[in-house]
Amino acid sequence: MAEPLLRALARLRAELLAPDALVRAVASGRRKDGEPRWRRVEVRPVELKAGRHLQLTSYDATQAHTSNHLLGDDPLAGPAAEALDALLFDEPFGNWHVETTTHTHQLRVTKKGEALLHSTQRAAPVAVELEHDRDKQRLLPEDDPVYAALGLTDAQGRIKPTRRAKLRQVEEFLRLLDATISEARSSGHLRRPTPEQPLRIVDLGCGNAYLTFAAHRFLSHVRGLPVHLVGADVKQQSADHNSSVASALGVAEEMSFAVGTIGDVVVDPAPDVVLALHACDTATDDALARAIGWQAPVVLAAPCCHHDVAAQLRRAPTPSPYSALTRHGILRERFADTLTDALRASLVRQQGYRVDVVEFVGSEHTPRNTMLRAVRTGSPVKGGSVVKEYDELVATWQLRPRLGELLGRSPAGSAAEPAAELVVELVAEPSSGQE
């Protein structure tokens, strides 16, 4: 039942400032009346030389910012309380997820500005972790069996020096996946999985499935969620390799791997989460259209190359006064990357999703470091500035975006058949990026 927001936040405040009870909290999402400064903030207690502190890790579009605030003798009135109050009462976050040693609390702000607060008791109490050592903050420990099975660690369970970049990619992906699923569940857009109806994930173009296996391991063993994951790729070799790894890890019943194109893969019932990680060129468009056709609540897509729009830019005359953007080959290619993902984000948004375009990993690790995160809200955009902006952009550059065609959006902006009726026609083959 809805209740006044300030009263619900005050109740959460007491839980968040209980250093012997708080395990972890996450603030995310936005309210109808405003946008918070940060995309997401994590809160947890830590033990430092100066005493017990409340650690806030705030994430913007590109990086994390960590600050520590002393709890002191009176946690409800000290520096930690002041920093927390700025988050609770000044930042318009739409969702709060709070874990204590005995309970889990989920707060969601409604469109009317009221609070829906749901609390559940843990089956068994858990301990508060106060370690400040950043090496221990990995979402999966370096000696986790999944890393050994994937060949990232040596016989002593240490990450191989040549695989450090892959570990960083896995870690950053898991953080984005965790945050997106938490936001979708907190906002009520993703159902709560059960053993009878586990969280259903499909990875389109999974390749050798480093990120696929890490996602299953993290969600099932760290977050404790029942998960069933399907990986699809055009290579029989990938399916055989991945099935062997799943058997070695003892998760063959929870993971399956299919051979075929994005349009051929059969997922019944429809997935809750769709992943498309480094699928090549228009295969990302095919994966996004398939996800929309499934009405998947959560979509994470990390595009690889963007040849299609780049080729169209070379063929079409550059509109004035933008010749400088396409005169040089390297600038034209980079502009094509940005333009492609901007059009994709707009189209997915028009189909009833909340979309963020974020940095996947740092550019020093890979130049293909953009990820589209989408959470289905169920409210398609039929007109207005979003549609007009897309139509004008396509018309100005004389483009025919692959995703627009798959969704029945002609260059002139007229609508055709819905994506759900088009997905059976998808035949583009993904290039496996998880190798």
The per-residue pLDDT for 384 is: 82
In this structure, what token pair is assigned to residue 190?
């993703």
pLDDT tens-digit series, residues 245-270: 999 999 999 999 999 999 888 888 99
Residues 408, 350: Cα–Cα separation, whole Å:
12
Q: Is pLDDT at 101 greater than 60 in this prediction?
A: yes
pLDDT tens-digit series, residues 102-126: 988 889 898 889 999 888 888 777 7
The per-residue pLDDT for 270 is: 93
Residues 360, 247: Cα–Cα separation, whole Å:
29
Closest CA to 9 of 78, 81, 96, 79: 96
Determine the average pLDDT of the residues in 189-213. 92
Calculate the average pLDDT of the chain.
85
Closest CA to 200 of 292, 259, 272, 138: 272
Contact call for residues 310 and 335 (beta carbons, < 8 A): no
pLDDT tens-digit series, residues 23-43: 889 998 888 888 898 888 999
Q: Could you give the C-alpha distances from 220 to 140, 286, 348, 360, in angstroms and in order?
A: 12, 28, 29, 22
Determine the average pLDDT of the residues in 50-67. 83
pLDDT tens-digit series, residues 144-169: 899 999 889 888 888 888 888 888 88
pLDDT band at 8 (very low <50, low <70, confident <90, very high): very high
The per-residue pLDDT for 421 is: 37
pLDDT tens-digit series, residues 378-435: 888 877 888 999 999 999 999 999 999 999 886 554 444 444 333 333 333 334 445 4
Which of 81-90, 218-227, 276-285 shows the lowest per-residue confidence on average (mean pLDDT)? Answer: 276-285
pLDDT band at 62 (very low <50, low <70, confident <90, very high): low
pLDDT tens-digit series, residues 350-377: 999 989 888 776 444 445 578 899 999 8
Closest CA to 202 of 243, 180, 178, 231: 231
Give Cα 296 distance to the centre of its chain: 13
Residues 22, 45: Cα–Cα separation, whole Å:
7
